[in-house]
């Protein structure tokens, strides 16, 4: 088996198409070399070695050593250096590289191959002893912490001590002799902490680093990340070994990270940061402040790469063009300049904000780089959520505290909190919080998720906080260096202003500004790009998108976002208003039919008005109105006062009403007297609702001259007999209204399919139904036997222990519940080929579920108004 693939030297054996075998980094290094970009020679140990390693009890394949040896010799040949040669030593970097980039794994060891002898060779060849000893100590520090597991604080402390001793501020002011002393100290630290000397044999170093990469694939942090992102452990990671180039060999050297377009806005400008005379990790570590790439972006006191290293910058600009044309997507690249020569160390598809994803997709389609279909595919539907984020009200008063980098857009305010744990505690209580950290690490991710926004005082646009916040759509201001954070005192200060934990700040992630207190925000307007993409999506999607809405506000929002009708109007939500709930309670608690009918009749005008409002707003679009379906307990009076009120209204004694309440209370309300069961036992109720619907429809179509076609929907049907009898009640009431008014009106009567029995007998039920709407909330509840209201008690455990892959109330369980949906659809259409099919459970707004509904051939999905754009895009992607 071939376990090792060379790149960049005389042999270039990989390519971008081999990402599964070589990992993303390795595949793209080979690809860049293949298209003629300057890539230092190296080789990739395949992901198959990782898999074999774990299959064989952490042992390598037998012939691996020989293949690594041969590939290493290839690098030596290409460069005229030798690994471990005291006179002209080859140094390498060792990096992990899975198919998708994966934080939590061992990342990078640089300068590998240095020891007490080769450091002298490096010093002689570079003519720079300080550089050589600095590189050596960096190597011991990196190798010591990531391979040998020594806490990096041990090393940092010694540097601080050395700087204090030398009376200097910056690392750059330390001399070669200082670094020699640090190396001695470092080696002692390693001996003390690990009980063994630091390895001097370069081959032992190399295999140590390779082993650390493979070992890190199974460490707890990597495991957690994989679980959260559905990455199978069987993918494995590759290891990349590459000849070192040095960005820290003088003022004509540099290292940087950049994006071919602005990852925040998507604007077509070259974007990034670099540091002169520095090594890769310095840029992201936040120890020195990175400088901008282009002069146009440079602020006062900053030195752009365009000015400092014009030749390398010009070459980088042409690399940028080549990469974008080649990959046809925005790239995130790492480079190093050694003595004015540019070297490419990485390229990959760049992470971006939702706004940038949209801008880039549209711009690239307009530039002719990609098709409209590709542009549609490029924007993750759920990311649209971020575009609907609020911004600061330009007219709101504000007190600016400080300014950092605009790391992730949107505006958010909240109480200051200094740890991820405290964020979770407060967020669970419903508080808005802002996580404030000096910098963030993977341990903070859960807190970042629960926070409204993240503020850091250190780090650049590519710092952990910035990258993670952008990915999850959290507002983030990074590197606000003017703010001082004191974790112990739990304070944040700017000059003399001191804010304590719990006090409010507001962040503007679009400008980087930080304000004291609350600043009013406004809802976003949908930009040109947004509607362009929506237009393209609408052209290709097959399914219609409706909204779940019952209030005029929600209906307006739904139309604003492009809903093509209402798929679910939950009438019980219309019954909670203070002027109505009393009648609802009387209806439920009535001791005799006359009292009940009186209460129901009192509700009629309210309902009629509600429906008129909806029909007017929806202007001829279909509106599905579901007749009452409350689990009864939601409506029962709570406490003495409410009970007394109901009793008084009905002219009955408190005791009588209390007794009836006790009789009505159920052990399992969700499986109790609700849905059509209520409509069958209290036929006056559904008759009243039907009357209200038909009267409202007649009135609005007379008023607007536009036909209104109400769809009346019966909930919680399990048997054909239930629907047959309910249908009669509804038809009778409708016929009566039409007869007395003499009006002509089309209406239809359908049912929800939300119980397993309904799906199993859908062919019989279809005989009584003009349409089906799958109620996947109840269908999930009843198929799993998971209470919708109580899953919180055990579902987190299930998710954590891989008993279930996803929350089935968020993303449909295709294997089980999905089978019932497709069976229901098939059986229904076997009886009525044109039967209209929709879905109105929460899953109607979930992109993965929408893909499934497309495959089942549903006619529409209905979701909450704010998810309508997401559903439009997801339905388009599903149809492609």
Catalytically active residues, by annotation: 464, 840
Residue closer to ligand PEP, measured from CB, 499 or 753: 753
Give dist(CA 283, CA 256) in Å, integer: 7
Residue with Cβ nearer ligand PEP (315 or 754): 754
Measured between alpha carbons, how far is 509 from 453 in angstroms, rounded to an integer?
A: 8
Which among Mg ion, ligand PEP, none contacts residue 568 (Cβ within 5 to 8 A by kind)? ligand PEP
Q: Is 776 in the site for ligand PEP (CB under 6 A)?
A: yes
The secondary structure of residue 638, as a DSSP letter, is P
The stretch among 32-40, 359-367, 405-413, 776-784 that binds ligand PEP (CB under 6 A) is 776-784
Taking phi over 0 as left and psi of -120 to 50 as alpha, with beta for the rest, 318 belongs to: alpha
Residue with smaller CB distance to ligand PEP, 778 or 854: 778
**Residue 775 marked as a ligand binder:** yes
Judged by CB, which is closer to ligand PEP: 14, or 715?
Answer: 715
β pairing state of 748-753 and 710-714? parallel
Q: Work out how close the CB of 843 gets to Mg ion at its nearest, in angstroms, rounded to a whole number.
A: 12
How far is residue 480's CA from residue 496's CA, in Å, rounded to a whole number?
A: 16
How many residues in the shown chain lie near ligand PEP by CB under 6 A?
Answer: 9
The verdict on 775 binding ligand PEP (CB under 6 A) reads yes
Confirm whether residue 626 is marked as ligand binding: yes
CB closer to Mg ion, 266 vs 775: 775
The span from the CA of 527 to the CA of 405, in Å, is 24
The residue behind tokens 């009898």 is 725
Question: Contact 42/6 with Cβ under 8 angstroms?
Answer: yes
- Alpha-carbon distance values, 178 to 145, 233, 364 (Å): 21, 44, 52
Which one of 179-187, 458-466, 467-475, 774-782 is the stretch in contact with ligand PEP (CB under 6 A)? 774-782
DSSP 8-state code for residue 627: P
Q: Is the separation of the CB atoms in 677 and 726 below 8 Å? A: no
Given CA atoms 419, 423, 424, 429 in this order, what sign does their dihedral have? positive
Q: Crossing angle of helices 847-856/868-879, nearest 10°?
A: 50
CB of 623 to Mg ion, least distance (A): 18
Partner that binds at residue 570, options Mg ion, ligand PEP, none, CB closer than 5 to 8 Å by kind: ligand PEP
Which long-range contacts link 325-331 to residues 24+ away (Cβ below 8 Å)?
325/369, 326/31, 326/35, 327/16, 328/364, 328/369, 328/370, 328/374, 329/360, 329/364, 329/370, 329/378, 330/259, 330/260, 330/261, 330/263, 330/266, 330/356, 330/360, 331/259, 331/260
- CA–CA dist 175, 187 (Å, integer): 19
Work out how close the CB of 93 gets to ligand PEP at its nearest, in angstroms, rounded to a whole number. 53
Residue 624 lies near ligand PEP (rule: CB under 6 A): no
Measured distance CA(236)–CA(234) in Å, rounded = 5
Encoded one letter per residue, x for contact with Mg ion by CB under 5 A and - for no contact, window 84-113 reads ------------------------------
Indicate the residue among 324 and 778 with the shorter CB distance to Mg ion: 778
Stretch in the footprint of ligand PEP (CB under 6 A) among 29-37, 332-340, 589-597, 773-781:
773-781
DSSP 813: -
Q: How far is the CB of 213 from Mg ion (least distance, A)?
A: 50
Using the rule CB under 5 A, give the single segment among 50-58, 184-192, 647-655, 767-775 that binds Mg ion: 767-775
- Which of Mg ion, ligand PEP, none has residue 841 at its interface (CB below 5 to 8 Å by kind)? ligand PEP
Q: Does 841 bind ligand PEP (CB under 6 A)?
A: yes
In the shown chain, the binding pattern of residues 570 to 599 toward ligand PEP, with x for contact by CB under 6 A and - for none, equals x-----------------------------
| Closest CB to ligand PEP among residues 375, 723 | 723
Q: Is 571 part of any known ligand binding site?
A: no
Decide: 93 and 210 in contact? Cβ < 8 Å.
no
* 754 assigned to a ligand binding site: yes
Q: 499 near 416, Cβ under 8 Å?
A: yes
Candidates 230-238, 604-612, 648-656, 749-757: pick the segment binding Mg ion (CB under 5 A): 749-757
Please select the residue that binds ligand PEP; options are 777, 787, 811, 822, rule is CB under 6 A.
777
Tell the burial category of 797 from Cβ atoms under 10 Å away from its Cβ (0-12, 13-18, 19+).
exposed
Contact residue for ligand PEP among 334, 754, 813, 846 (CB under 6 A): 754
Q: Give the whole-angstrom CA distance, residue 822 versus residue 513.
A: 51
* CA separation for the pair 744, 23 (Å, rounded): 66
For the purposes of burial, counting CB atoms within 10 Å of the CB of 360, is it exposed (0-12), middle (13-18) or buried (19 or more)? Answer: buried
Quote the CA–CA distance of 870 and 860 in Å, as a whole number.
14
Contact with Mg ion (CB under 5 A): which of 282, 711, 778, 842?
Answer: 778
Is 777 assigned to a binding site? yes
Neighbour-count burial for 822-837, b at 16+ CB within 10 Å, e otherwise: bbbbebbbeeeeebbb
Give least dist CB 754 to Mg ion, A: 5
CB of 778 to ligand PEP, least distance (A): 3
The least CB distance from residue 621 to ligand PEP, in Å, is: 19
Q: Does 754 bind Mg ion (CB under 5 A)?
A: yes
- Strand 497-500: give its sheet, edge to edge: 484-486, 491-494, 497-500
**With binding defined as CB under 6 A, does residue 568 bind ligand PEP?**
yes
- Least Å distance, CB 377 to ligand PEP, is 29
One DSSP character per residue, 540-586 reads H--SEEEEE--SHHHHHHHHHTT--SEEEEEGGGGG-SHHHHHHHHH
What's the closest the beta carbon of residue 666 comes to Mg ion, in angstroms?
Answer: 16
175 is in an annotated binding site: no
CA distances from residue 116 to 86, 113, 150, 282, 330 in whole angstroms, order as listed? 9, 10, 20, 24, 43
Which lies closer to ligand PEP via its Cβ, residue 257 or residue 840? 840
**Residues 6+ away with beta carbon under 8 Å from 223:** 233
Nearer to ligand PEP, 843 or 872 (CB): 843
Residues binding Mg ion: number (CB under 5 A): 3
- Say whether 426 counts as a known binding-site residue: no
In terms of CB distance, is 283 or 568 closer to ligand PEP? 568
* Among the listed residues 511, 435, 514, 504, the one whose alpha carbon sits nearest the alpha carbon of residue 481: 514
Residue 776 contact among ligand PEP, Mg ion, none, beta carbon within 5 to 8 Å by kind: ligand PEP
Q: Which residues pair with 259 in a beta bridge?
A: 271, 332
Binding residues for ligand PEP restricted to 137-176, rule: CB under 6 A: none
Stretch that binds Mg ion, among 263-271, 553-561, 754-762, 844-852 (CB under 5 A): 754-762
Q: What share of the chain is helix, strand, coil (3-state, %, to 5)?
A: 50, 15, 35
Q: Report if residue 775 touches Mg ion, rule: CB under 5 A.
A: yes
CB of 765 to ligand PEP, least distance (A): 16
Indicate whether 837 belongs to the interface with ligand PEP (CB under 6 A): no
Q: Which stretch binds ligand PEP (CB under 6 A): 29-37, 601-609, 775-783, 849-857?
A: 775-783
Q: For residue 555, what are its two tokens? A: 């209906």
832 binds, among Mg ion, ligand PEP, none (CB under 5 to 8 A by kind): none
Q: Residue 3 is encoded by which pair of tokens? A: 């376990």
Q: How far is the CB of 537 from ligand PEP (least distance, A)?
A: 24
Taking contact as CB under 6 A, which single stretch among the options 453-461, 770-778, 796-804, 823-831 is the one that binds ligand PEP?
Answer: 770-778
Site for ligand PEP, rule CB under 6 A: 568, 570, 754, 775-778, 840-841
Going by the annotation, the residues of the binding site are: 570, 626, 754, 775-778
Site for Mg ion, rule CB under 5 A: 754, 775, 778
Going by the annotation, the residues of the binding site for substrate are: 570, 626, 754, 775-778
Going by the annotation, the residues of the binding site for Mg(2+) are: 754, 778
């Amino acid at each position: 088996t071939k376990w090792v693939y060379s790149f960049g030297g005389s042999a270039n054996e990989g390519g971008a198409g081999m990402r599964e075998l070589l990992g993303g980094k390795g595949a793209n290094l080979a690809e860049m070399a293949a298209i003629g970009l300057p890539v230092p020679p190296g080789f990739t140990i395949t992901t198959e070695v990782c898999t074999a390693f774990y299959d064989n009890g952490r042992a390598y394949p037998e012939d691996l050593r020989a293949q690594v040896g041969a590939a290493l010799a290839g690098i030596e040949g290409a460069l005229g250096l030798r690994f471990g040669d005291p006179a002209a030593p080859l140094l390498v970097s060792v990096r992990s590289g899975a198919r998708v980039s994966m934080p939590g794994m061992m990342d990078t060891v640089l300068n590998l191959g240095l020891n007490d002898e080769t450091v002298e060779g490096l010093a002689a060849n570079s003519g720079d002893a300080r550089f050589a000893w600095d590189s050596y100590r960096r190597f011991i520090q990196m190798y010591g912490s990531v391979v040998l597991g020594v806490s990096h604080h041990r090393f940092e402390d010694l540097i601080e001590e050395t700087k204090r001793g030398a009376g200097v501020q910056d690392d750059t002011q330390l001399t070669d002799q200082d670094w020699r002393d640090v190396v001695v100290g470092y080696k002692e630290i390693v001996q003390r902490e690990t009980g063994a000397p630091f390895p001097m044999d370069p081959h032992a170093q190399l295999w140590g680093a390779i082993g650390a990469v493979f070992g890190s694939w199974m460490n707890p942090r990597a495991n957690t990340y994989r679980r959260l992102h559905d990455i199978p452990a069987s993918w494995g990671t590759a290891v990349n070994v590459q000849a070192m180039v040095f960005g820290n060999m003088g003022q004509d050297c540099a290292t940087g990270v950049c994006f071919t377009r602005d990852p925040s806005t998507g604007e077509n400008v070259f974007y990034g940061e670099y540091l002169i005379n520095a090594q890769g990790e310095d840029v992201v570590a936040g120890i020195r402040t990175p400088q901008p790439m282009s002069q146009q972006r440079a602020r006062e006191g900053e030195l752009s790469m365009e000015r400092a290293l014009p030749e390398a910058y010009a070459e980088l600009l042409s690399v940028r063009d080549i990469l974008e044309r080649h990959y046809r997507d925005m790239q995130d690249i790492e480079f190093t300049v050694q003595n004015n020569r540019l070297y490419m160390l990485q390229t990959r598809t760049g992470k971006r904000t939702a706004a940038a994803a949209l801008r880039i997709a549209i711009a690239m389609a307009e530039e002719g780089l990609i098709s409209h279909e590709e542009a549609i595919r490029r924007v993750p539907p759920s990311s649209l959520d971020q575009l609907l984020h609020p911004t600061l009200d330009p007219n709101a008063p504000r007190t600016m505290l400080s300014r950092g980098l605009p790391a992730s857009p949107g505006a958010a305010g909240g109480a200051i909190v200094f740890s991820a744990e405290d964020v979770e505690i407060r967020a669970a209580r419903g508080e808005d919080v802002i996580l404030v950290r000096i910098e963030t690490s993977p341990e903070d991710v859960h807190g970042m998720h629960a926070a409204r926004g993240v503020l850091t005082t250190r780090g650049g646009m590519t710092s952990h906080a910035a990258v993670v916040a952008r990915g999850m759509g959290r507002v983030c201001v990074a590197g606000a260096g003017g703010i001082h954070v004191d974790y112990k005192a739990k304070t944040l200060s700017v000059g003399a202003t001191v804010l304590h934990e719990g006090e409010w700040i507001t962040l503007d992630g679009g400008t980087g500004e930080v304000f004291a207190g609350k600043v009013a925000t406004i809802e976003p307007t949908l930009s040109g790009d947004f509607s362009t993409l929506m237009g393209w999506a609408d052209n290709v999607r097959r399914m219609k998108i409706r909204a779940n809405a019952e209030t005029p506000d929600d209906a307006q929002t739904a139309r604003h976002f492009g809903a093509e009708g209402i798929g679910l109007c939950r009438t019980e939500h219309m019954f909670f208003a203070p002027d109505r709930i009393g009648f609802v309670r009387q209806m439920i608690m009535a001791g005799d039919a006359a009292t009940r009918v009186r209460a129901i009749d009192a509700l009629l005008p309210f309902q009629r008005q509600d429906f008129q409002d909806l029909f007017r707003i929806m202007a001829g679009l279909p509106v599905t109105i579901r007749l009452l379906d409350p689990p009864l307990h939601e409506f029962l009076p709570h406490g003495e006062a409410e009970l007394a009120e109901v009793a008084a209204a009905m002219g009955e004694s408190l005791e009588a009403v209390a007794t009836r309440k006790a009789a009505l209370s159920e052990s399992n309300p969700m499986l109790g007297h609700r849905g059509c069961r209520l409509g069958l036992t209290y036929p006056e109720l559904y008759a009243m609702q039907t009357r209200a619907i038909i009267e409202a429809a007649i009135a609005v179509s007379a008023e607007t001259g536009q036909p209104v076609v109400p769809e009346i929907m019966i909930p919680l049907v399990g048997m054909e007999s239930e629907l047959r009898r309910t249908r009669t009640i509804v038809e009778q009431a409708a016929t009566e209204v039409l007869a007395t008014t003499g009006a002509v009106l089309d209406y239809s009567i359908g049912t929800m399919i939300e119980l397993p029995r309904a799906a199993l007998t859908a062919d019989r039920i279809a005989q009584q139904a003009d349409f089906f709407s799958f109620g996947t909330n109840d269908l999930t509840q009843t198929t799993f036997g998971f209470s919708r209201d109580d899953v919180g008690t055990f579902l987190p455990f299930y998710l954590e222990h891989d008993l279930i892959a996803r929350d089935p109330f968020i993303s449909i369980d295709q294997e089980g519940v999905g089978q019932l949906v497709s069976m229901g659809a098939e059986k229904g259409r076997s009886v009525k080929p044109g039967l209209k099919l929709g879905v109105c459970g929460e899953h109607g707004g979930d992109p993965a579920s929408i893909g499934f509904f497309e495959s089942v051939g549903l006619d529409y999905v209905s979701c909450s108004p704010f998810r309508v754009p997401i559903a439009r895009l997801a339905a388009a992607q599903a149809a492609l």
